[in-house]
């Protein structure tokens, strides 16, 4: 079964850090670009970051640029999001998601994890 499972969410104080992980299974992880998308409570979807299959290309939304770092370990079938200098407005469910086609970047997202909640509050 094709699956993405996020972990690492929790409660953190403003200015703090958190590292999210996304474990992939059931497909050739190293062939796909991967993405992080977040959803604040009761709000819509916001793209956060994307990384190409070989990590050669990395992109961020302006709202997180300079604070968040996306990375991946193809040997471990894992995607990561290091979040620093967290703010209250970063509070959201964070989803990892796979590009719908192999070996491309800039596409729709066909497989999503169940999400992990990040709460930034003092």
Partner 1 sequence: EIVMTQSPATLSVSPGERATLSCRASQSVSSNLAWYQQKPGQAPRLLIYGASTRATGIPARFSGSGSGTEFTLTISSLQSEDFAVYYCQQYNNWPPLYTFGQGTKLEIK
Is residue 11 close enough to count as binding partner 1 by CB under 8 A? no
Taking the complex as a whole, the smallest distance from the CB of residue 73 to partner 1 amounts, in Å, to: 21
CB of 37 to partner 1, least distance (A): 8
Rounded distance, CA 49 to CA 65, Å? 9
47 to 106, contacts with partner 1 by CB under 8 A?
47, 50, 57, 59, 61, 95, 100, 105-106
Q: Cβ 94 to partner 1, closest distance in Å?
A: 11
d(CA 52, CA 13) in angstroms, rounded, equals 31
CB 81 within 8 A of CB 97: no
Cβ atoms of 38 and 48 closer than 8 Å: yes
What SS3 class is residue 88? helix
- Cβ neighbours for 112, distance < 8 A, ≥ 6 positions apart: 4, 37, 95, 96, 97, 98
Least gap, CB of 31 to partner 1 (angstroms):
16
Under the binding rule (CB under 8 A), the answer on residue 3 touching partner 1 is: no
How many residues touch partner 1 under the rule CB under 8 A: the total is: 22
Contact pick of 41, 44, 75, 122 for partner 1 (by CB under 8 A): 44
């Amino acid at each position: 079964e094709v699956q993405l499972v996020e972990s690492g969410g929790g409660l953190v104080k403003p200015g703090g850090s958190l590292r999210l992980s996304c474990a992939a299974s059931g497909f050739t992880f190293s062939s796909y670009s991967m993405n992080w998308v977040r959803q604040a409570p009761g709000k819509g979807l916001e793209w956060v970051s994307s990384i190409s299959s070989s990590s050669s290309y990395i992109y961020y939304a302006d709202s997180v640029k300079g604070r968040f770092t996306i990375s991946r370990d193809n040997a471990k079938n894992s995607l990561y999001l290091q979040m620093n200098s967290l703010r209250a407005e970063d509070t959201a469910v964070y989803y990892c998601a796979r590009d719908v086609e192999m070996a491309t970047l800039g596409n729709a997202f066909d497989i999503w994890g169940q999400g992990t909640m990040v709460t930034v509050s003092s």
